[in-house]
Amino acid sequence: MIRADLVVTGIAELATLRPGPIPRVGRAAQELGLVRDAAVAVDGGRFVYVGSERGLARRVRLRGGGRRRDAGGGVVVPGFVDAHTHVLYAGDRAFELALKARGLSYAAIARRGGGILATVRATRRASPEQLLAETEGRLASMAASGTTTVEVKTGYDLRPQGELRLLRLIPRLARRSGLRLVPTFLGAHAVPPEYVGRSDVYVDRLIRECLPVIARERLAAFVDVFTEPGFFSVHASERLLRAAARLGLGLKVHADEFVRSGGARLAARRGARSADHLLAAHDDDRRALALAGVTAVVLPVTAFGSGTSRRAPARELVDAGIPVAIGTDCSPNAWSTSMPLALALAVHGGRLSPAEALTAATVNAAHAVGVEDAGTVGVGRPADFSVFSLPHVDQLGYRFDAIPAVVYRQGNVISSRALRQ
């Protein structure tokens, strides 16, 4: 008999998924590894049984004091992996929206104390406790929407020591939130005000003062760079990525978001783990990514923050044979913590099928952030999963508003909700 400290039965449909990355999703039922009338058992935070409810009755015994839960005929999916977030910052930029409504430009809003530098000022000033508390609120909201693993970028201090300070907060955030966090160093998020016109000098400092510390203390899994005119040139970006790769760090690129600036080809050339955004990428760029085995991270909510109507090119990327992942891109510019919303927009605007979107939000996102044991439901893997009161998994991606009933991380409930008490 298998011993378990948690058993969940009454699952009408369980999407186990299979290890990724998965560039093309074929027949949904097979690719999603669907099991009907399913059950799972967990012991010590990992799955010890995944299969039919009948099999569980025969093979699994609950330990004394163990928990038996019923999914109420809902669906179970792996905890979502949010592959791209700027969730670690302080301050509030809601006030900008009233200015935008009056037609003020980004520059005019910046002159009134808005824009990214407002967040940089607030983040630099914030105490560790303030940063932890504000970010923890956003992470709790992510957990409430079914996310169990979150990539967390720095990038709102823009001073070498300040960026390292942000990285050092991430393990504390993980403990406080109960979520699995993947730290990414994005010191090259924007050119800091002190280095306008001298971005090369700033990149030199990041290479010299940050990267060795990050590698030595294992502060980040990835180094990311914002490659875009007005931010960092392809040349400067490539110097940073080369230095990071030499130290064994993983690479990511904010690529071709506003204009086709060479970010995708840079990611392909350097063998980055992911290229993110890609709204302005062309066929050639997608072919380069496919050949190099780079994962594409699409961010379907982001365009709303800038008031544009551009849609994430999810269909085009999948059709090019690239494994596609999804992130919320949660930031002060577009405060969105909900992966179900990102999935729905990837389907309705980005033209993925629901099965493709679910794959993108789980196994492919896990691959994009380098946590290969996340994003699937399987024996031996961390018991990170959500119960949704939905008739079948395709309703994720169909509905804009799916909220899980219960979210488990390593077998512990990190969010639950009650209706009509």
Please give the residue ranges that form the binding site for a second copy (CB under 8 A).
Answer: 28, 92-95, 97-98, 100-102, 137, 140-141, 143-145, 178, 301, 304-305, 307, 309-311, 315, 334-338, 341, 344-345, 347-349, 351-356, 389, 391-392, 394-395, 397-401, 403, 413-421
Phi, psi of 231 (to 5 degrees): -115, -105
Q: Is 255 exposed, middle or buried (0-12, 13-18, 19+ CB in 10 A)?
A: buried
Min. distance of Cβ 323 from a second copy in angstroms? Answer: 16
> Residue 94 or 196: which CB sits closer to a second copy?
94
Cis? peptide before 404, omega within 30° of 0: no
> Residue 13 or 238: which CB sits closer to a second copy?
13
Is residue 377 within 8 Å of 40, Cβ to Cβ? yes
Is residue 273 within 8 Å of 245, Cβ to Cβ? no
> Residue 237 or 389: which CB sits closer to a second copy?
389
Min. distance of Cβ 269 from a second copy in angstroms? Answer: 31
What's the token pair of residue 175?
A: 């403990």
Min. distance of Cβ 237 from a second copy in angstroms? Answer: 29
> Residue 56 or 109: which CB sits closer to a second copy?
109
Rg over CA atoms, the chain: 21
Min. distance of Cβ 329 from a second copy in angstroms? Answer: 11
Please calculate the CA angle 236-241-244 and round it to the nearest 5 degrees: 130
> Residue 115 or 192: which CB sits closer to a second copy?
115
> How many Å apart are CA 34 and CA 23, to the nearest integer?
19
Min. distance of Cβ 86 from a second copy in angstroms? Answer: 14
Is residue 106 within 8 Å of 144, Cβ to Cβ? no
Min. distance of Cβ 65 from a second copy in angstroms? Answer: 17
> Residue 129 or 248: which CB sits closer to a second copy?
129
> Residue 262 or 354: which CB sits closer to a second copy?
354
> How many Å apart are CA 393 and CA 18, to the nearest integer?
15
What residue ranges in 228-292 does DSSP mark as E strands? 250-255, 274-277
> How many Å apart are CA 359 and CA 362, to the nearest integer?
5
